[in-house]
Amino acid sequence: MADEILELNEGTEQLLLVGIQRRGVQIADRIADVIKEREGVEIPRGALDITLYRDDLQSVGPRPVVGKTHLPVALEGKVVVIVDDVLFTGRTIRAALDELADFGRPARIQLAVLIDRGGRELPIHADVIGKTLDVGAGGRVDVFVPALDGRDEVVLIEGKRGGSA
Amino acid sequence: MTTLGKDLLGLRGLSREQITTILDVAEPLKEISERTIKKVPTLRGMTVVNLFFEPSTRTRISFEFAEKRMSADTVNVAAAASSISKGETLVDTARNLEAMRIDMVVVRHPGSGAARFLAERIESNVINAGDGTHEHPTQGLLDLLTLRDRFGTLDGKRVCIVGDVLHSRVARSNIWGLKALGAEVAVCGPRSLLPGAIHEFGVEVFDRVEQAIEWADALNVLRLQLERMELGYIPSLREYNRVFGVTRARLDKAPRDLIILHPGPMNRGVEIDSDVADGPHSVILQQVTNGVAVRMAVLYLLAGQKASLADAAKGGAA
Amino acid sequence: MTAPLLLTGGRLVDPSQGLDAVGDLLLVDGKVQSVGGRITGPDGATRIDCTGLVVAPGMIDVHVHLREPGREDVETVATGAHAAVAGGFTGVCAMPNTKPVTDNQATVGFVKRQGEAAGFARVYPYGAISLGQQGETLAEFGEMVAAGAVAVSDDGKPVENSHLMRTALEYAQTFGIPVVEHCEVMALAHGGSMHEGSISARLGLKGIPGEAEEIDVIRCILLAKLTGGHIHLCHLSTKGSVDLVRWGKDQGVRVTAEVCSHHISLTHEAVEGYNTNAKMNPPLRTMRDVEALQQGLKDGTIDLLVTDHAPHHYDEKEREFADAPNGIVGLETALGVNVTWLLEPGILTLNDLVNRMACLPAKVFGLPGGTLAKGSIADVSVFDPTREWTVDPSRFKSKGRNTPYGGRTLRGRAIRTIVGGRVVYELGA
């Protein structure tokens, strides 16, 4: 994924990786680590919590936890790469785009996801995809990262069948 | 995540978990006020009425900022206290507002219990912005957040509330909130301004402010309402400052670095001296900043919650 | 003339003549004709089977607020007197804090006539101690007594001026009436809306310390001692007051005292949640006070049980606690509350209860009735001390609905109330 991001942008100039809380942040960190290894360049990284931009907050029930939003630099002129673990309905990305717009006007916004599981409800696509999985509507994709979960794997739960990808 | 129920009426009866939830939500919300565009769309389309039966610039503005930064539509209603005037009663006012389809009411009222009274009679979420001498929960929460920012945890920390505890809703909310988070709490003030039953609150009592300073990690200095002197609770403001004033000279003798909170507005030279209020011990402006974040958190957590959910805030025997 | 009335098979309880036995009672021409044993009534007598019920002298509540003249929207003499008979009372003494104040013979006469016209319980008016209850000038006791006043009081507030109180206690002796004091030191109670204690501190409500009552209690006892007058102390609420009255009686002072049903049954905990139906003056106190008041009734320190029946319009109570008015209705719940909290736990015997609700009120205030002795007025309370019922304020005869007992199940209920030989109330009729 790091390679693809570099290829897409012809280098690291003006690049800003923004992970979506919580696992997108971890994946962005790992992409940045790889880029540093390859290019010797430290890419600025931010974190975005989209909870306050969700479109389902009117429903009754316990409110979701709000995470930290942190953007280290102004967005003007930047190429922002939104990083998330799983791309599904596209609603999270819609919220992230809205939130980024409140911070400024980047030159470009791209999307990099570890897993694209299909099932889009909005016209959104990823520019960089780690792996595409065809998961039915009833299925679930769980991404585990070492910093949060103590293990490093993706679990696909599809209906009653399960398996590791 | 734990819920608060429909209303926020007081900190008494809230669990440690519930209070922690509010503070944990408030923490990331601080960042919104640092943005160029200080606004998130969370409460878009919701109508919040700030119903103030008592003049209050500070609290009302803080709530209004919080509401606007969450994109709620806000209406300020400054009503004369219904108590003696022949105008509408509190319940009439509220029912009329609700007939205009509002979602939340932030209420400030001179009568203890007024917020609860309202909450029991309307469907909208009710946030108590100060009811008489009962509670002022969002002030208590912003004090807790400010202390937590400084200390990391409140467990075992010693906080002394100095001043007119008898008439202070801020003191009551602080006492319940601090105790829920594991702090040790004391009060200090003239006995004529402490409730007779203060020992039943589970707090230490200091007669002299010097003792409080020696004991505490933080002092929360209450505003002395100037009319207390006229009503004969204390002989003079001058003497109050002499005996109970938090002064630089007294703080210099403190065995550890104290932090000083004050809910504002301050009477400089009465309960607190200017060189303390503006000095290195003071976290008074952080309190004001935190006030907006805490109120955003409460708005976020309560918006749309219905009475049918277990309402611990109300069930806590007031 | 109504037909003679023969009550058969009831338990006749009349401490005034040491009577407690199953038997019959014959009422003729508004008087007790014959009491006890098996009575064969005259021809045409109406027979009422009272088997399993208590037949007692008509109960009298010497402390009610009927609001007329002035607040007829809240209660009238007629609705209040109707509520009284529904609660088993055949007589009530109406406090003079009306609008205008009942401080003259014309108003006293008006209240009395309204009571007679209503035809329920007998209504005995109070006259005010001071003109307009302003605490400055004595009202005309003589004229008011001539018009029907049975006692004087500034109830609702105290007579703060000790000289005026002294004069009232002296002057009242001419007419043989008690001076009745609402015991409160206003400067100490000012702004308070409940008992001063842990709950008031927590709720942020200004409290009224017990001492606000007790200081006035001892002042009145000492002034009665000084003057030889008869002081009757209203609605005592604290242990301290009971102790002081006990001391006064030991000293031979002419002091009598009353306690309200709510003060022997509820504590300040009833205020939790800012319940305005638990707001009254004097306020509900602590369990320690409740127990002392119960004990005072048992040992005779406290003479009478009363209600301090104080109706309010429902929306007057529908507001923030500190701004809500004081007082609750009590006429229709008093018997049940007293049975449930005093008789059932064995604090009072049935004879004690009848004594403190029927016999002693008549004796202390010099009223007719309070006895079933032959030749006395035919005022009778027939009640069932075991009847369970649930308080439903919407069924009250009183216009007032403000009660802390709504929804509670009580034991003890009036079944029939007879005034002047005429059945004026029948449960379920």
DSSP conformational letter for B193: G
- A68 touching chain B per CB within 8 A: yes
Structure tokens at C202: 């927590």
Give me the pLDDT at residue A156, please. Answer: 83
CA distance B84 to chain C (A): 8
Say if CB C245 and CB C225 are below 8 A apart: no
- Chain A residues in contact with B305 by the CB 8 A cut-off are 60
Cα distances (Å, whole numbers) of residue C150 to A95, C63, C367: 81, 12, 8
- A88 touching chain B per CB within 8 A: no
End residue of a domain, out of C335, C365, C395: C365
- We report the CATH number of the domain holding residue C248 as 3.20.20.140
- B179 touching chain C per CB within 8 A: no
Residue C410 inside a domain? The answer is yes
Nearest CA in chain B to A55: B42
Neighbour tally for C389: CB within 10 Å: 15
C377 - beta bridge partners? C31
d(CA C209, CA A165): 75
Residue C247 inside a domain? The answer is yes
Nearest CA in chain A to B30: A68
* Facing residue for B301 by CB, picked from A49, A59, A63: A63
Q: Please give the radius of gyration of chain B, using alpha carbons only, rounded to the nearest integer.
A: 19
Say if CB C329 and CB C401 are below 8 A apart: yes
Cα distances (Å, whole numbers) of residue C290 to C85, C203, C371: 27, 21, 29
Cα distances (Å, whole numbers) of residue C104 to A24, A78, C143, C144, C234: 87, 92, 7, 6, 22
All domains of chain A in start order, with CATH? 2-136 (3.40.50.2020)
- B312 touching chain A per CB within 8 A: no
Note whether C402 and C326 are same-domain residues: no
- B307 touching chain A per CB within 8 A: no
End residue of a domain, out of C312, C337, C365: C365
Indicate the CATH number for domain B16-135+291-315: 3.40.50.1370
Note whether C219 and C181 are same-domain residues: yes
Instruction: Provide the number of structural domains found in chain C.
Output: 2
Domain encompassing residue C219: 56-365
Note whether C128 and C264 are same-domain residues: yes
- Chain B residues in contact with C203 by the CB 8 A cut-off are 112-113, 134, 318
CB contact under 8 A, C201 and B133: no
Give me the pLDDT at residue B306, please. Answer: 81
* A146 band by pLDDT with thresholds 50, 70 and 90: confident
* B309 band by pLDDT with thresholds 50, 70 and 90: very low
Q: What letter represents residue B32's amino acid?
A: I
Neighbours of chain B (3+ CB pairs under 8 A): A, C
Active-site residue, from C14, C61, C155, C308: C308
CA distance B234 to chain A (A): 47
Give me the pLDDT at residue B133, please. Answer: 95
Residue C208 inside a domain? The answer is yes
pLDDT digits (tens, 9 = 90+) for B262-294: 999 999 999 999 999 999 999 999 999 999 999
Cα distances (Å, whole numbers) of residue C376 to C28, C47, C380: 11, 20, 11
Neighbours of chain A (3+ CB pairs under 8 A): B
Say if CB C231 and CB C219 are below 8 A apart: no
* Facing residue for B113 by CB, picked from C206, C207, C274: C274
- A137 touching chain B per CB within 8 A: no
d(CA C209, CA A159): 70
Give me the pLDDT at residue C63, please. Answer: 98
pLDDT digits (tens, 9 = 90+) for C161-181: 999 999 999 999 999 999 999
Give me the pLDDT at residue B83, please. Answer: 42
Structural domain boundaries in chain B: 16-135+291-315, 137-287
Nearest CA in chain A to B69: A52
Whose tokens are 């210099």? That residue is: B252
Note whether C49 and C191 are same-domain residues: no
DSSP conformational letter for B291: H
Whether the pLDDT of residue A163 is over 60: the answer is no
With CA atoms as reference, report the closest residue to C377 among C385, C387, C367. Answer: C367
* B95 band by pLDDT with thresholds 50, 70 and 90: confident
Note whether C167 and C297 are same-domain residues: yes
A84 - beta bridge partners? A113
Q: Does B contact C via 3+ CB–CB distances below 8 Å?
A: yes
- Chain B residues in contact with C205 by the CB 8 A cut-off are 112-113, 132-134
Residue C370 inside a domain? The answer is no
Note whether C13 and C128 are same-domain residues: no
Q: Is-same-fold flag (B16-135+291-315; B137-287)? A: yes
- A56 touching chain B per CB within 8 A: no
Nearest CA in chain C to B94: C319
- Chain C residues in contact with B90 by the CB 8 A cut-off are 319-320
Whether the pLDDT of residue A165 is over 60: the answer is no
Element containing residue A91 per DSSP (H, E): helix A91-103
Active site residue C308: yes
Structure tokens at B190: 């003239």
- B24 touching chain A per CB within 8 A: yes
For an interface test with C, give the residue of B117, B161, B165 to mutate (most C CBs within 10 A).
B117
- Chain B residues in contact with A67 by the CB 8 A cut-off are 28
Give me the pLDDT at residue B230, please. Answer: 75
pTM for the structure as a whole: 0.90
CA distance B307 to chain A (A): 11
With CA atoms as reference, report the closest residue to A114 among A146, A141, A138. Answer: A141
pLDDT digits (tens, 9 = 90+) for B193-212: 999 999 999 999 999 999 99
- Is this prediction's ipTM beyond 0.85? yes
Pairing of strands A128-132, C304-306: unpaired
pLDDT digits (tens, 9 = 90+) for A44-80: 999 999 999 988 776 666 788 899 999 998 999 999 9
Q: Once rounded to an integer, what is the mean pLDDT over residues A9-34?
A: 90
Note whether C348 and C389 are same-domain residues: no
Residue C165 inside a domain? The answer is yes
- Chain B residues in contact with C204 by the CB 8 A cut-off are 112-113, 131-135, 169, 172
Give me the pLDDT at residue B226, please. Answer: 79
End residue of a domain, out of C341, C365, C389: C365
With CA atoms as reference, report the closest residue to A153 among A88, A83, A85. Answer: A85
CA distance B230 to chain C (A): 15
* B88 band by pLDDT with thresholds 50, 70 and 90: low
Nearest CA in chain B to C198: B197
Say if CB B212 and CB B230 are below 8 A apart: no
Nearest CA in chain B to C316: B89
With CA atoms as reference, report the closest residue to C330 among C381, C265, C233, C424. Answer: C265
Which parts of chain B are beta strand (E)?
47-52, 73-78, 104-109, 125-131, 158-162, 184-188, 204-206, 218-221, 259-261
Note whether C36 and C85 are same-domain residues: no
Note whether C226 and C141 are same-domain residues: yes
With CA atoms as reference, report the closest residue to C6 among C421, C428, C419. Answer: C421
pLDDT along chain C (429 residues), means of 10: 90 97 97 95 92 98 97 97 98 98 98 98 98 97 98 97 98 98 96 96 97 98 98 98 98 98 98 96 98 98 98 89 94 98 98 98 98 98 98 97 97 98 93
Note whether C154 and C166 are same-domain residues: yes
Chain B segment 42-101 residues within 8 A of A by beta carbon are: 42, 70
* Facing residue for A52 by CB, picked from B2, B3, B42: B42
Q: Once rounded to an integer, what is the mean pLDDT over residues B88-100?
A: 82
Size of interface A-B (CB pairs under 8 A): 54
Q: Please, what is the average pLDDT of chain B? A: 91
Residue C170 inside a domain? The answer is yes
Q: Does C contact A via 3+ CB–CB distances below 8 Å?
A: no
Give me the pLDDT at residue A127, please. Answer: 94
CA distance C101 to chain B (A): 22
Give me the pLDDT at residue A150, please. Answer: 81
Give me the pLDDT at residue A141, please. Answer: 87
CA distance B228 to chain C (A): 14
* A6 band by pLDDT with thresholds 50, 70 and 90: confident
Q: What letter represents residue C107's amino acid?
A: T
Q: Please, what is the average pLDDT of chain A? A: 87
Note whether C30 and C173 are same-domain residues: no
Domain B137-287 has CATH 3.40.1080.10: no
Note whether C162 and C271 are same-domain residues: yes
